[in-house]
Structure 1
Amino acid sequence: MPEASRPSPRDDVHALDPHTLRGLAHPIRMRLLAALRHHGPATASQLAERLGESSGATSYHLRQLAAYGFVEDAPELGKGRERWWKAARQGTSFDRSLYTDSDPSTRTAVEVFLEELADSHAREVSTWVHSATDWPVEWHGSANLSDYTLRLTPELAAEMNAEAHALIESYRDRAIPEDAENVAQVRVHLHALPQTED
């Protein structure tokens, strides 16, 4: 899924505005973009097979993603008429001003975007739960499904989120040798959600 919530110091992050948010806020487009970010360049047919969609649908939505700057051609991989796509950037940032945009279509896009993001997180957690016993035992204690309840102000919640993001980012560029054993792509979800107490 697109990685979202706050601006990142990384250069390869697509900052959403009302226009680009409306272009991205579609379940198939978000899943296509996530697949390209997580698994690398692919053709529309390969993505259709991965997502369980028709290649016509994936081709259409890839062109829409390209029009909004989320994906681009990877001509170095194509052979003949085969068209390969890659993610233009590796992350997405979501500015809080989008919540209060005056355009109703933007507010609808916010809901669609956040719903699909939540659904993608749920799918990834479910996949881990149903496949956990297939992983080497070292990974059983390294995976994490935790939750906490804290009493915070909006300022303290924002501070906590910023510190958590900084910690996670500090692990991004740790050098891991190409031939290292027992290395996996690790997805980290961070949810900090205010809720009523009744």
Structure 2
Amino acid sequence: MTESPEPHVRQLDARSLRGLAHPLRIRLLDALRFGGPATASQLAAKLGESSGATSYHLRQLAEYGFVEDAPDRGKGRERWWKAAQRGLRFDDALLTDPDPAVRGAADLYLHEVATTQTRDVSTWLGNRGTWPEEWSRVWDMSSWTLRLTPEQTRELVGKMHELLDTYRDRASDEDLPGAEQVRIHTHAFPIRTE
């Protein structure tokens, strides 16, 4: 496994990507990363899957080091799982790997990430009325179209990531009154207008 410059963030490589590149595995990992430890049965109910399917895919995720046992949870025969890392880092080189299976896994992974982000926004839009009023005044769904070079785009993305990193330590205080998990999605890609 390649080391990431950020602690608790895993750099995806060709081997680990093949172990993750399945729609249910990505959803299971997200459920554990953002919802905390759970059993296969709990995850099955949450995701609308069979417990047999979630059990199988959790074992596969464990084999590739994405999830691990949560021994401080559960009693008796219940097996609790937790995410092994806080985040994942995708290397664009995977998209041009000489192995077509790796390129296919990279494409599948990116499409699943995009689907998850779309699902997140749709869920927020459908449920925003159930949140306290102060959350209804602070959410954002902006779209900007700028004319940039690849270098300027790289600089812009880097600055956005640096800004978000300044909030990482501030956001880690779980006892902060009114604090909730907030998903931040960024997208930067060229478009053709003709």
Q: TM-score, normalised by structure 1?
A: 0.92
5+ residue gaps, structure 1, are 1-6
Q: How far apart, in 2, do the equivalents of 1:137 and 1:74 lie?
A: 36
- Cα deviation, residue 195, structure 1: 1.8
Structure 1 pair 177/114, CA: closer, same or farther in 2 (3 Å)? Answer: closer
What is aligned with 2:78? 82
- Cα deviation, residue 197, structure 1: 2.4
Aligned ranges for residues 178-197 of structure 1 at < 5 Å? 178=175, 180=177, 182-197=178-193
Aligned amino acid, residue 101 of structure 1: D
What is aligned with 2:57? 61
The DSSP-based 3-state class of the residue aligned with 1:114 is helix
Identical positions, percent: 57
Q: Does 1:147 align with 2:143?
A: yes
Q: How far apart, in 2, do the equivalents of 1:112 and 1:93 lie?
A: 15
Q: Does 1:27 align with 2:6?
A: no
5+ residue gaps, structure 2, are none
What is aligned with 2:121? 125
Aligned ranges for residues 93-172 of structure 1 at < 5 Å? 93-172=89-168
Per-residue Cα deviation, 1:42-88 (whole angstroms, up to 9, x for no partner): 10001101101000000000000011110011112131111010000
Stretches (4+) displaced over 6 A: none
Q: How far apart, in 1, do the equivalents of 2:102 and 2:130 lie?
A: 42
- Cα deviation, residue 178, structure 1: 1.7
Aligned amino acid, residue 175 of structure 2: E
Q: Given that residues 22 and 108 in structure 2 are in contact (C-alpha distance below 8 angstroms), is that contact kept between their aligned partners in structure 1?
A: yes
Q: How far apart, in 2, do the equivalents of 1:193 and 1:24 lie?
A: 24
In proportion to residue count, which structure has more helix? 2
Computed over aligned residues only, the root mean square deviation of the Cα atoms, in angstroms, reads: 1.5
Q: Given that residues 67 and 81 in structure 2 are in contact (C-alpha distance below 8 angstroms), is that contact kept between their aligned partners in structure 1?
A: yes
Q: How far apart, in 1, do the equivalents of 2:58 and 2:76 lie?
A: 19
Aligned amino acid, residue 104 of structure 2: T
Structure 1 pair 33/174, CA: closer, same or farther in 2 (3 Å)? Answer: same
Q: TM-score, normalised by structure 2?
A: 0.94
- Cα deviation, residue 169, structure 1: 1.4
